[in-house]
Amino acid sequence: MREPILSVSDLTTHFFTRAGVVKAVDGVSFDLAKGEIMGLVGESGSGKTVTGFSLLGLVDAPGRIVKGSVKLNGTELTTLSDPELRARRGHEISMIFQDPIATLNPMLTIGQQMRMAIDAHEWLSKRAADARAAELLTQVGIPSAAARLRGYPHEFSGGMRQRVAIAIALLHRPAVIVADEPTTALDVSIQAQILFQMRDLAAEMGTAMVWISHDLAVVSSLASKLAVMYAGRVVEQGPTATLLRDPRHPYTAGLISSLPAMSQPGMPLSQIPGTTPSLLSLPPGCPFAPRCDRATKACGTAPEMTMEDNRGWRCFHPVSAFKEATV
């Protein structure tokens, strides 16, 4: 296997609130090679966004990374000081957020904001910085980019704003980009354009990506491998196609079969009973056990990750590959 560019092991982030300790991320491990795209899938509150924030050291109090390591190009990020981290954020690892309205400064032109992002890491003349900014805007599909640099965020549509945010993330050609649901707020036709471009850009620049999403269909067309999160833990991970065709964890299997595309129109959808547990009062053992029809007494202790070939799952009673998983 290729040398991983990003290596995460046993990453654990807790929030120490007045109501108790929230175990938002609990022992997440994965490796990412150059140019590889990994989909991080889960429902709201499953810890996927906090995982993304933890990678960049963006977790604020009362949250803290309590253990584990994040190695980027061999450098341990979790023990770096703030200035050292700042030198890497946006330069070697950058992030794209869900809401481009909230991430762009409404008082500054796009050009000013892009120059600030360039100036943070290298010295370029204004003209050279503008040229670099315009080049990237063109790459992400913004027409007449040089003129648009003088525009303010409100003059851009939602899709165009997200393209600007992507261009800013790409300015320094970072080794890793963490994309937190960047297309969720957009229409399907714009989403398709952006997904297509991101896939090409990642391949072209050799940028590795962690693509956070709640939508299995989106990541299945984009990522070469997947990690499925539930209640702060990765419950299943592996190559995208293998995992979707032949899920082992009952939660993954339930998610896939609850999609309307998986049943006959008009017939009841297969559903996962119950609701996601509160992270404050997780059941002991496997957090999915109360909703799982395969749960037994053994599920009272938390299952370890079972590894087989290049995939893994946390379950004592994995779904059989031959009986139930044929979709």
Partner 1 sequence: MSVFLNIDNVSRLFGPNLSTGEKIAAKLGGNVETRAVRAVSEVSLTVRRGETLGLVGESGCGKSTLGRLIAGILPPTSGSILLDGTPVMVDGRKVTTRVQTVFQDPFASLDPRMKVGDTVSEGPIAHGLTTKSDAQGYVANWFERVGLDPVWVDRYPHQFSGGQRQRVAIARALAMQPDVLICDEPVASLDVSIQAQIINLFLELTCDLDLTCVFISHDLSLIRHVSDRVAVMYLGRIVELGPVDQVFAASAHPYTAALFGSVPKLVLDADELVHFDTIEGEVPSPLSPPPGCYYHPRCPCATDICATTQPETQTVSELRAVACHHFKAVLADKDPDLTSASTSVSAR
Interface with partner 1 (CB under 8 A): 43-44, 157, 159-160, 187-193, 195-196, 199, 214-218, 220-221, 239-242, 244-245, 254-256, 258-263, 265-266, 268-273, 275-276, 327
- In whole angstroms, the minimum distance from the beta carbon of 226 to partner 1 comes to 11
Cβ atoms of residues 207 and 177 within 8 Å: yes
**Between 65 and 228, whose beta carbon lies closer to partner 1?**
228
**Between 94 and 183, whose beta carbon lies closer to partner 1?**
183
Q: What is the rounded CA–CA span in Å between residue 54 and residue 96?
A: 14
Q: What is the rounded CA–CA span in Å between residue 46 and residue 235?
A: 11
Q: What is the rounded CA–CA span in Å between residue 227 and residue 7?
A: 14
Q: What is the DSSP letter of 267?
A: S
- In whole angstroms, the minimum distance from the beta carbon of 250 to partner 1 comes to 12
**Between 171 and 231, whose beta carbon lies closer to partner 1?**
231
Query: What are residue 39's DSSP bridge partners?
Result: 211, 226
- In whole angstroms, the minimum distance from the beta carbon of 88 to partner 1 comes to 31
Q: What is the rounded CA–CA span in Å between residue 22 and residue 280?
A: 5
**Between 157 and 301, whose beta carbon lies closer to partner 1?**
157
- In whole angstroms, the minimum distance from the beta carbon of 214 to partner 1 comes to 6
- Three-state DSSP at 283 gives coil
**Between 83 and 265, whose beta carbon lies closer to partner 1?**
265
Both tokens assigned to 50: 């906090």
- In whole angstroms, the minimum distance from the beta carbon of 162 to partner 1 comes to 12
**Between 125 and 275, whose beta carbon lies closer to partner 1?**
275
Cβ atoms of residues 169 and 210 within 8 Å: no
Query: What are residue 213's DSSP bridge partners?
Result: 41
Cβ within 8 Å of residue 196, ≥6 positions away: none
- In whole angstroms, the minimum distance from the beta carbon of 76 to partner 1 comes to 34
Q: Which phi and psi (to 5°) does residue 297 adopt?
A: -60, -35
